[in-house]
Amino acid sequence: MPISDERPKLYMDEYKLKQDPHDYGLADDPIDIENFKKKFKIIIVRYEGNDLEFDIIGVHPGIANAFRRLMLSEVPSMAIERVYIHNNTSVIQDEVLAHRLGLIPLKADPRLFEYRGDENDQGTEQDTLDFELKVKCSRRKDIKESSNFDLIYKNHRIYSGQMKWLPKGKQAQIYSESDVGPIHDDILITQMRPGHELDLRLAAVKGIGKDHAKFSPVATAFYRLLPEIKLKKEVVGKDAFLLQKCFSPGVIGLDDNDRAYVKSARYDACSRNVYRYPQLVDVVEMSRIRDHYIFTVESLGALKPDVIFIEAVKVLKKKCRKFLDEIEEA
């Protein structure tokens, strides 16, 4: 029997999902460590910059979803938590300005810092990064008339790159400004006119996304089940071109004889458009593999996406250890 037929599947009918008659469900699988080791796989499919796509095969949906939730909400990062406003004469309100500053992603590696306690209001060099944003908008005297505000005004646009790091204690000996500053220097904070001024002190601390979304280390982390598409009949000519348009680009290919074939079912969106055409209804069998998860992780930049996943595994392991210890003590 082919390996693809042995995998647990969900068949996609026109209006519902249909269970494989030979698949009794993952929830009823007996726990067998040796069998789990044989089936379990992690395959890296694409790794470009801060984007990672990988497959997890042979795990329960609850485990896959746990990894997703942990990457989003329990892997820590550094973010601006407190904004001390000494002066703000711009048009943006204090609370809106503080919120925008908090959402600026920082390069600082959270593994090198501790969580900040409540006993020290100013923080220490082990748990706090201080920044300063002190700018004033003025009119350039050398340019008289122009419709471009960037030419006639100095500091018309305030960007994240204008934040200045203020080392605490021995931080200057350990880090450089390029290690802890904003990931992107071109994030627009506000716009000003002559006479407007900002004088702010910013304190960044370590936190997790469960407390606030600004601490989440990922822009997105999600998974989907691996699609599987089979052609039950030969499709040629106009029907082949029509079949190709029913799926995402690159899923259905055409050979030299205009005969349709499954090129790559991996990136199919499972739209079921094929059911709109009566002549194609019985041509295709669409399903999803229930224990094959395609993960996509996009990091903000402080941690690499593979490191974020490993940190999520560590968090899950720590939670399991704590749970087992409580059971043993009970």
Assess whether 194 and 265 both reside in one domain. no
Asked if residue 30 is part of any domain, the answer here is no
CATH of the domain at 180: 2.170.120.12
Assess whether 241 and 138 both reside in one domain. no
Asked if residue 304 is part of any domain, the answer here is no
Assess whether 100 and 191 both reside in one domain. yes
Assess whether 123 and 209 both reside in one domain. yes
Assess whether 177 and 277 both reside in one domain. no
Mean pLDDT (the chain) is 90
Give the amino acid at 185: D
Average pLDDT over residues 183-199: 94
Per the structure, the count of domains in the chain is 2
Query: Minimal CA–CA distance to 10: which of 19, 22, 23, 1?
Result: 19
Chain-centroid distance, C-alpha 325? 32
Average pLDDT over residues 271-282: 91
Helices H, strands E: what count in the chain? 9, 16
Assess whether 180 and 93 both reside in one domain. yes
Interatomic CA distance for residues 99 and 80, integer angstroms: 9
Helix H or strand E segment including 97: helix 94-102
Assess whether 160 and 237 both reside in one domain. no
Query: Minimal CA–CA distance to 312: which of 9, 46, 76?
Result: 76
pLDDT digits (tens, 9 = 90+) for 87-119: 999 999 999 999 999 999 999 999 999 998 876
Query: Minimal CA–CA distance to 83: which of 96, 71, 69?
Result: 96
pLDDT digits (tens, 9 = 90+) for 147-179: 788 888 899 999 999 999 999 989 999 999 889
Average pLDDT over residues 231-256: 92
Asked if residue 66 is part of any domain, the answer here is no
Asked if residue 50 is part of any domain, the answer here is no
pTM of the complete model: 0.87
On whether the CB atoms of residues 297 and 217 are closer than 8 A, the answer is no
Assess whether 117 and 85 both reside in one domain. yes
pLDDT at 123 > cutoff 90: no
On whether the CB atoms of residues 22 and 4 are closer than 8 A, the answer is no
Return the pLDDT at 28: 62
Interatomic CA distance for residues 50 and 76, integer angstroms: 17
On whether the CB atoms of residues 51 and 306 are closer than 8 A, the answer is no
Kindly state the percentage of the chain with pLDDT values over 90: 74
Q: Which domain holds residue 199?
A: 77-216
